[in-house]
Chains A and B, each alone.
Chain A
Amino acid sequence: MRFDKIWTVARKDISEFRTNRYIMFSLALMPLIMAIILPVAYLLPITTFMPDSPSTPLDLDLDPTSTIEGEAIINRTVNNTRFVDCELQGVVLNRCVVEASNLTTVAMTSSFMGNSTGEGMVIHHCNLLNNSLSNVAVSDSVRIGEESEEEALLIIFIDALLLFYVLVPAILPTVIASYSFVGEKTNKSLEPLLATPTTDMELLLGKGLSIFVPTMAVTWISLIPFVILVDLIAGPVLGYLPLPNLIWALGVFVLAPLFCLMAIFANVIVSSRVNDVRASQQIGSLIVLPLVVVFIVILLGLVTLNVLNMALFIGVIAFAVIGLLYVASKIFKREEILIRWK
């Protein structure tokens, strides 16, 4: 394998793409939509109706005057007291600190409750940290270190944006590859190219590289305004900057290139069977369908996008890329191209 031959083929194709208005328009438009229009149109309406930084603890200014430790308290009203390792039942608490206790049928206001369990409680204007609660009515309170439902929804939407984002490197190759491979056929420039002292794999990789480089360049460059916009929109609401993070890094720097390769090799296969640019684009665009399914599954909350799931997803796509490369390399042979390609 000679990289200079691969790069020569890639550079020639990139030079050709630069003169193709449709390709240049697609390269400019897609990231514009993904990096600017989508976060604004998608996140802004959600964040507009959410309070800023709900995870910030309430300023309760608690100062318990006494501490009760290891006792059972039943049917009392207690103010300004610290409870540690207690059993509380039928109690009304105001401006208290409750730690490592079990609470049943308790009403609690302007207090802190941490590392405890609660059942059948009414909680108002409290800071909550690492509790196990059931049948609880909570209002105007902050679950410290936990996401609110709104925050969780916003995170799911940002994760869903990641999938939109990796769609770009899966869609753009469909546009470019249809010109790269089908264009060579319609131009009848394949035969002199195939007559050169290059191997089939060098030609395939050269053509693949010519699609990979502009696609990933555009994807990665547009990531900068995208991250800034998402952080500007979602940061004040979440109380922290959601991007970049590990999942996004894996998505953009590992999954997106894999999707790009998958789309390239899938388009080689498609291009071998059609001789019309539009037909190639239409069939090639089907590659995004599995991605759309994954997108819907995540948006519905059926699968959480965590590092493990992402690693599994990357593994599956990497396997698919290897499979498609194998098939594409079998199809991208001189004899096949000249005799069997339509």
Chain B
Amino acid sequence: MIETIDLTRRFGEIVAVDSLNLRIDDGRVFGFLGPNGAGKTTTVRMLCCLINSTSGTAYINGMDTRDEPSRLKIRGMIGLLPETPGLYESLSAYRNLEFYAKLYGVPEGRRHQRIKELLTTLGVWDRREDAVGKFSKGMRQKIAIVRALVHEPEFLFLDEPTSGLDPQAAMTVRNYLLDLKKEGRTIFLNTHNLADAEKLCDTIGVLKSRLLDIGSPEGLARKFYGRTTVIHLTRVTDGMLNAVSSLPAVQEVRVVGNRMLVDMEDPEAGNPGIVSALVSQGAEVEFVNELKHGLEDVYLKLIEGS
């Protein structure tokens, strides 16, 4: 579990991270959203024991990130993918990974097997002896991901894992992260890619120095936009509008063309009554669906409102 309690980091007068309170349970994928300079990287650096907090505490698996002996243990439990791959370009992919495997204390017998396993999964095993400097950006990113995973960490911190990748490479990385999610790893994902966050994350936190909000992607959308049922009709009459408006479950009704948009607390309970009321008014219902508000809407609303 990752937990922060009033985690704060100042750089002189600037408060990069302000009283951050988070709790990420094991096996969850947490997406950290926020504009540039919001404090996401600073938070990750504090959690990875690279820098200290000014005040407040953070715990990884119950170990205090401020405690020096614990810091070494914590660093052994985490895998970090920074924003830039930061590989040794003159060394081969294999040598890069072997170096980190040794530093992370992967046993000699397991080292080769683990590197082969990961490089094969990401489709770069055949290029293992090539110098990383010859690799494309996407391939470097894959090697950097393998580096973060070579010691089978319990916690994975990923900073913009699909940034700058072509769609195919981004999809490969995304699919691999989904596989990791299925394996039950705890993943902390810093990203600007809201589509990625929506697909991958169980929980989203929006940060702008302070944590603006936190919740599941759906939960955040509901929190800001409520729940709206869209009923597609062949035509809309005043009678139909009045019949739906008078129902106690309905909060607000809007008509857009031949569509009726009905805001409700609990659409699962209210939808049958609405459909009955409409049918009783002679309506011909083509289909009913829920209006989805994307994470982008939520993010922009939060950032603009902050």
Contact = CB atoms under 8 A, between A and B. Distances in A.
Interface in A321-342: 334-335, 338-339
A189 B87 CA distance: 6
Q: What size tier do the contact residues of chain A reach?
A: 20 to 34
B285 interface: no
A9 interface: yes
Interface string B144-179: 100110000000000000000000000000000000
B72 A195 contact: no
Interface in B68-111: 72-73, 75-76, 78, 80, 82, 84-91, 95, 99-100, 102-105
A339 B52 CA distance: 11
B75 A188 contact: no
Contact of A188 (B49, B82, B90): B82
Contact of A191 (B72, B76, B82, B88): B82
Contacts of B87: 187, 189
Given A15-B91, A189-B87, A338-B51, A196 B103 contact: yes
A128 B173 CA distance: 89
B137 interface: no
Contacts of B85: 188
B95 A15 contact: yes
The DSSP consensus for interface residues of chain A is: helix
Given A8-B103, A196-B75, A196-B104, A191 B80 contact: yes
Given A197-B105, A198-B103, A335-B51, A192 B147 contact: yes
Nearest to A206: B103
A189 B82 CA distance: 9
A84 interface: no
A16 B147 CA distance: 18
Interface in A16-37: 16, 19-20
A199 interface: yes
B50 interface: yes
B112 to A, nearest CB: 16
Interface residues of B, number: 33
B88 A187 contact: yes
Contacts of A8: 99, 102-103
A194 interface: yes
Interface string B46-65: 00111110000000000000
B48 A195 contact: yes
B50 A338 contact: yes
B11 A188 contact: no
Contact of A197 (B73, B90, B95, B131): B73
B128 interface: no
Given A5-B103, A191-B50, A334-B51, A20 B72 contact: no
A9 B49 CA distance: 20
Contact of B88 (A12, A335, A339): A12
B210 interface: no
Given A12-B91, A197-B76, A335-B51, A188 B103 contact: no
Contacts of A20: 90
Contacts of B76: 197
Interface string B20-59: 0000000000000000000000000100111110000000
Nearest to A335: B51
B88 A16 contact: yes
A339 B51 contact: yes
A192 B90 contact: no
A196 B100 contact: yes
A194 B102 CA distance: 14
Contacts of B48: 195
A135 to B, nearest CB: 70
A335 B52 CA distance: 7
Given A8-B99, A196-B104, A197-B76, A189 B51 contact: no
Contacts of B95: 12, 15
A190 interface: yes
Given A8-B99, A188-B86, A16 B51 contact: no
Interface in A123-180: none
Given A12-B99, A196-B75, A334 B90 contact: no
A197 B72 contact: yes
A191 B81 CA distance: 9
Contacts of B131: 19
Nearest to A17: B90
B227 to A, nearest CB: 42
A12 B82 CA distance: 20
Contacts of A4: 102
Contacts of B11: 339
A19 to B, nearest CB: 4
A172 B25 CA distance: 51
B86 A191 contact: yes
B82 A192 contact: yes
Contacts of B148: 192
B245 to A, nearest CB: 58
Given A189-B88, A197-B75, 11 more contacts: A12-B91, A16-B90, A19-B131, A187-B86, A188-B82, A188-B85, A191-B80, A191-B86, A194-B50, A198-B72, A335-B50
Closest 4 CB pairs of A and B: A197-B76, A189-B86, A19-B90, A195-B80
23 contacts: A12-B88, A19-B90, A19-B91, A20-B90, A188-B84, A188-B85, A188-B86, A189-B86, A191-B80, A192-B80, A192-B147, A192-B148, A195-B75, A195-B78, A196-B75, A196-B103, A196-B104, A197-B73, A197-B75, A334-B51, A335-B52, A339-B11, A339-B51
